[in-house]
Chains A and B, each alone.
Chain A
Amino acid sequence: MSAPRLLYCRCAYAQVLPQEVKDGVLRHLCSAAQPFESVADLCEMSARRDPRLAELASSDLKIIACHPRAVKWLFHAANAPLPESTEIVNLRSLSTAEACQLLPPPA
């Protein structure tokens, strides 16, 4: 079984994610071998029903963002419901180390 596609949200339109956590996790992603998708802000994309959300939701995803309940319904609001199997890493509740443990290791 192939690894899920990684999607990182920067939450660039509001500072609700701790800066050190989102930087630490992005640095970790950048040191791993696996390609990833990164978006400036999932809320912003959901607000304008960005068609990219549907394309993303159509694949096996691991989303690195905020509270899973919020992420799930943000996609739904954009007519891009996530499969139940989608894994969501919550940067609002986890430390950098805890979040990185859930991601591919550095290359």
Chain B
Amino acid sequence: MSLSPDFSLLLYEGRGSQPLDPERRFALCAALLDRGYSLSRAGLGARLAPGQKALIVLGEFDRGQAPDLEDADGAIALSACDITGLDPAAVTDLVERRRGDRPMNQPGLWKPWFPVIDYSRCTNCMQCLSFCLFDVYGVSKEGKLQVQNNDNCKTNCPACSRVCPEVAIMFPKYSSGPINGEPVSDSDIKREKMKVDISALLGGDLYARLRERSDEAKSRFSQERDASKALAERKKCLAKLMAEGMIPADVLASLPSPDEIQRRAAAAAARAEAALADAPLP
């Protein structure tokens, strides 16, 4: 889940404060960044981004006295903390207390995992939209492919990037290129061109196979078909994807039922088709 902090941290070393020793400055910055905070190192003239409602100013202030700060416009809550003599862990705790219940994400509790589209490569073919079963993708009013539901994306699953014939989908947290954003090489393009046909990539159309297997199951086991058999069926069909490292096991386990997969796939394909009809490629 994405939570938006509405405050900033400023490590102040301007007039009325002591400059920090470089190694102490490093230790403080590293500790705060690793806890998920962003901060500016500045003297006078720091800038605040729009939407920020609070600024916490850290510094080794003269006589160990943090100044009283006030925003002349009253729009931003300013507070200063004297950090003289505090180690990085103590400074981080101090910031945590000052933050109070203001929301923010934290490293280790959530991973920003979502597709990032390289529009210099994307041809709007909609294969990713058709492929994704979790409604991550959508189409803009102008008929352009968009990532619309980041939070629906399954962490560590880069499967949609593998079906993109143009190598246009990146996952910056992925381990290797070109999915992680490395430059796309000629060999990458050749390799991806071989996978334009999703059916070939999957060793047969995944959804068709699911339908076939579902029909077979209905005719052969209609009397005894139950949820556990449907689950086994689903896993069998998708095991190939997992074996090839295309879908992590936990994502596989979280896939919906075969019937739901069919429904979603049909809906996604219809959306992709409609988008392509409304906005034909140039």
Contact = CB atoms under 8 A, between A and B. Distances in A.
Contacts of A56: 49
Contacts of A100: none
B22 A38 contact: no
Nearest to B37: A40
Interface in B32-84: 33-43, 46-47, 49-52
Q: Size range of the interface on B? A: 35 or more
Contacts of A55: 47, 49-50
Contacts of A106: 22
A12 B111 contact: no
Given A30-B29, A38-B41, A67-B172, A10 B34 contact: yes
A43 B22 contact: no
A31 B183 contact: no
B235 interface: no
Contact of B118 (A51, A52, A73): A73
Contact of A38 (B29, B49, B107): B29
Interface residues of A, number: 42
Contacts of B38: 37-40, 45, 52
Contact of A12 (B36, B39, B172, B175): B36
B51 A51 contact: yes
Contacts of B183: 67, 69
Contact of A10 (B33, B41, B111, B184): B33
B173 A43 contact: yes
A26 B29 CA distance: 8
Interface string A39-78: 1110111111011101110000000001111110110110
B107 A13 contact: yes
Given A38-B33, A40-B38, A41-B107, A73 B117 contact: yes
A77 B4 CA distance: 16
Nearest to B4: A48
B147 interface: yes
A93 B181 CA distance: 11
A74 B116 CA distance: 6
A45 B88 CA distance: 24
B118 A69 contact: yes
A31 B33 CA distance: 17
Contacts of A23: 26, 30
Residue of A23, A36, A48, A74 with most partner-chain B CB within 10 A: A48
Interface of B: 2-4, 8, 22-23, 25-26, 29-30, 33-43, 46-47, 49-52, 105, 107, 110-112, 114, 116-119, 147, 150, 170, 172-175, 177, 180-184
Given A47-B2, A69-B182, 6 more contacts: A40-B33, A43-B112, A47-B112, A54-B50, A66-B172, A73-B116
13 contacts: A30-B29, A30-B41, A35-B46, A36-B40, A40-B33, A46-B116, A48-B2, A48-B4, A56-B49, A69-B184, A73-B181, A74-B116, A92-B180
